[in-house]
Amino acid sequence: MDFDFDLVMRALPLLVAGAGITVKITVMSVALGIIIGLIAGVARVSRVKPLQMITACYVNFFRGTPLLVQIFIIYFLLPLITGHRMDPLVVAITACGINSGAYIAEIFRAGIQSIDAGQMEAGRSLGFSWLETMRYIIVPQAFKRVVPPLGNEFIALLKDSSLVSVIGFEELTRRGQLIIARTYASFEIWTCVALIYLAMTMLISQLVAYLERRYSLDDTH
């Protein structure tokens, strides 16, 4: 079998540009996911029953259904809500962000619950409210502990973002498909796409490992 290097070299700039878009939606989705996940995670450990129930439903739904299906639902639902056609980028980030928010909520919940109960008591006995104690004392400590699972979530989402290619959004996977449609060089292009994903995920692993080392230096836990 021939491996057409020339073709790969010509396709590479297009694919790398697609990878840039993949990184962009991943970063923005994780940012959205962290905001949603933090709020939902805190709500899950609160003693307010309705909040617990709403967040439990949210987490169960988005963890219990395929991301692909969620992307389609949001793709068709958003225009109905807003009244006009949506930018695929907005759809992609909304779908991926809400989905990863459900996983990140669980990560934060576990992180918060791993903090010694004495911390909450100490905060409360100084006169802080429950929410203030969360904000100033519990969550900052939990954040350091959830760096590794957040890193995993980031890697998972980077790969899963390939699913937004189904709504025609031109990230790395979609770019690959389009090039193959023109050149029929399936093997070369898919290999190339896979290696680009691999390079990105390995880079993130290194970054997470670095953050973990740095945080473990200035924390007891």
Least distance from another protein to the Cβ atom of residue 130, Å: 8
- Is 121 among the residues that bind another protein (CB under 8 A)? yes
- Is 218 among the residues that bind another protein (CB under 8 A)? yes
User: Quick one: which of 13, 125, 182, 213 contacts another protein (CB under 8 A)?
Assistant: 125
User: Quick one: which of 130, 156, 178, 180 contacts another protein (CB under 8 A)?
Assistant: 130
Length of the chain counted residue by residue: 221
- Is 87 among the residues that bind another protein (CB under 8 A)? no
- Is 144 among the residues that bind another protein (CB under 8 A)? yes
- Is 141 among the residues that bind another protein (CB under 8 A)? yes
- Is 132 among the residues that bind another protein (CB under 8 A)? yes
Give the integer Cα–Cα distance in Å for 119 and 125.
10
- Is 72 among the residues that bind another protein (CB under 8 A)? no
**Residue range at the interface with another protein (CB under 8 A); choices 7-15, 28-36, 58-66, 129-137:** 129-137
Reduce the secondary structure of the chain to three states and give it as a string.
Answer: CCCCHHHHHHHHHHHHHHHHHHHHHHHHHHHHHHHHHHHHHHHHHCCCHHHHHHHHHHHHHHHHCCHHHHHHHHHHHHHHHHCCCCCHHHHHHHHHHHHHHHHHHHHHHHHHHCCCHHHHHHHHHHCCCHHHHHHHHHHHHHHHHCHHHHHHHHHHHHHHHHHHHHHCCCCHHHHHHHHHHHHCCHHHHHHHHHHHHHHHHHHHHHHHHHHHHHHHHCCCC
Least distance from another protein to the Cβ atom of residue 208, Å: 20
User: Quick one: which of 49, 127, 182, 213 contacts another protein (CB under 8 A)?
Assistant: 127
- Is 129 among the residues that bind another protein (CB under 8 A)? yes
- Is 46 among the residues that bind another protein (CB under 8 A)? no
**Residue range at the interface with another protein (CB under 8 A); choices 15-23, 26-34, 123-131, 206-214:** 123-131
Applying CB under 8 A, which residues contact another protein? 116, 118-119, 121-122, 124-130, 132, 136-137, 140-141, 144, 218-221
